[in-house]
């Protein structure tokens, strides 16, 4: 039976290399047409100008979009100092320019202040909702509202290259979900007293998916035509490898599937820690979902 004729059983992550100029929703819409599958979702929205890793959840895996434990993201971004725009990137309207020179050493010192736990003000051109309306919708209406700073975490910022004459370069940012790279660059520029904007962005890692594992839209269409969808899909349980694994007995598998809470002495439940989340496998080694041991019993947290 081909993947096309067995859509109900499809479950996995399709690692997509998003092209420049596409929204994340554009990718989903295109893939629905290519794969002829409606149940698609993505984790981690990318701006239209950005390229790179967009994990697309297929079939029953869409239930996992909002609970992926791996919050790590890695980006490579081009930047230009001396220019500030309303979108904080090169697609926006120029608000201010500066001729101030910036040495590599000054740039290194400035960026170090943005590593670790920091507070970041979300850009107006973002998908964050305020009173039911997305900020970029308000921005397009010419409105700017007060935004509360949010806590984000950045593990490292590496300057890959920098030309002091043009004041342009490339940085690599290893951070957690929720970090705006445009804001990082604009904030570094502000600290340097000259402003700055992002000129390009590629995400090379997101939610356990690496850029080297990703397929372009064209490659996906070609391989799907050869009935190789299953070969492209990453098994869903790989996204939860940070959780410990437990395998249930045959009777316990049946009970678990029916929503019955399991007792501490039952097969697969012994030795589990209270309050912990676990990858749950049935007696046939099939991945069932995520379970939680709480208040003396083990139950389903999310089934797939």
Q: How confident is the model at residue 289 (pLDDT cuts 50, 70, 90)?
A: very high
Q: How confident is the model at residue 2 (pLDDT cuts 50, 70, 90)?
A: very low
Over its C-alpha atoms, the chain yields an Rg (Å, rounded) of 23
Q: Chain-wide mean pLDDT for the chain? A: 92
Q: Which residue has the tokens 């596409």?
A: 22
CA 49 to chain centre: 16
| Measured CA angle at 257 (ends 251, 258), to 5 deg | 95
Tell me how far apart the alpha carbons of residues 50 and 257 are, in angstroms, rounded to a whole number: 41
Q: Which residue has the tokens 């701006």?
A: 47
Whole-number pLDDT of residue 157: 98
> Is pLDDT at 3 greater than 50 in this prediction?
no
What topology does CATH give the domain 243-303? 2.30.130
Whole-number pLDDT of residue 103: 98
Same fold, 4-68+208-238 and 72-206: yes
SS3 171: strand
Query: What are the domain boundaries of the chain?
Result: 4-68+208-238, 72-206, 243-303
User: What dotted CATH number matches 4-68+208-238?
Assistant: 3.30.2350.10
Per DSSP, 262 falls in state B
Q: What is the pLDDT of residues 31-87, one digit of tens each?
A: 999 999 999 999 888 989 999 999 999 999 999 988 999 899 999 999 999 999 999
> Is pLDDT at 1 greater than 60 in this prediction?
no
Q: What is the pLDDT of residues 147-194, one digit of tens each?
A: 788 999 999 999 999 999 999 999 999 999 999 999 999 999 999 999
> Would you state the structure tokens that stand for residue 194, as one six-digit string?
């000259």
Q: What is the pLDDT of residues 230-252, one digit of tens each?
A: 999 999 999 999 999 999 999 99
pLDDT above 90: percentage of residues in the chain: 78
Q: What is the set of active-site residues? A: 47
CA 182 to chain centre: 16
User: What dotted CATH number matches 72-206?
Assistant: 3.30.2350.10
Q: What is the pLDDT of residues 102-158, one digit of tens each?
A: 999 999 999 999 999 999 988 777 777 777 777 777 667 777 777 788 999 999 999
Using alpha carbons, select from 235, 111, 104, 126 the residue that is nearest to residue 178: 126
Using alpha carbons, select from 57, 46, 59 the residue that is nearest to residue 20: 46
CA 145 to chain centre: 26
Whole-number pLDDT of residue 275: 86
CB count in 10 Å sphere of residue 298: 26
Prediction pTM value? 0.89
Stretch 6-14: mean pLDDT? 80
Using alpha carbons, select from 5, 15, 2, 13 the residue that is nearest to residue 59: 13
């Amino acid at each position: 039976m081909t993947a096309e004729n067995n859509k109900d059983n499809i479950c996995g992550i399709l690692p997509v290399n998003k092209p420049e100029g596409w929204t994340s929703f554009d990718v989903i819409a295109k893939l629905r047409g290519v794969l002829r599958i409606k149940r698609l979702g993505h984790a981690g929205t990318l701006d239209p100008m950005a390229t790179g890793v967009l994990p697309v959840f297929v079939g029953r895996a869409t239930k996992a979009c909002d609970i992926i434990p791996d919050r790590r993201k890695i980006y490579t971004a081009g930047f230009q100092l001396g220019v500030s725009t309303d979108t904080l990137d090169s697609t926006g309207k120029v608000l201010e320019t500066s001729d101030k020179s910036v040495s590599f050493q000054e740039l290194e010192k400035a960026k170090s202040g943005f590593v670790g736990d920091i507070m970041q003000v979300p850009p107006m051109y973002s998908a964050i909702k305020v009173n039911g309306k997305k900020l970029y919708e308000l921005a397009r209406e010419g409105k700017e509202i007060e935004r509360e700073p949010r806590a984000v975490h950045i593990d490292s910022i590496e300057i890959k290259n920098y030309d002091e004459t043009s004041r342009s370069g490339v940085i690599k940012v290893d951070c957690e979900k929720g970090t705006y790279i445009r804001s990082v660059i604009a904030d570094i520029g502000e600290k340097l007293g000259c402003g700055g904007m992002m000129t390009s962005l590629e995400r090379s890692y997101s939610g356990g998916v690496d850029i080297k594992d990703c397929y372009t839209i064209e490659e996906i269409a070609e391989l799907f035509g050869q009935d190789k969808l299953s070969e492209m899909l990453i098994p869903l349980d790989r996204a939860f490898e940070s959780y410990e694994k437990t395998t249930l007995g045959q009777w316990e598998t049946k009970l678990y599937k029916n929503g019955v809470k399991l007792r501490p002495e039952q097969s697969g439940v012994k030795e589990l820690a209270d309050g912990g989340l676990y990858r749950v496998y049935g007696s046939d080694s099939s991945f069932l979902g995520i379970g939680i041991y709480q208040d003396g019993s083990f139950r389903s947290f999310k089934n797939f």
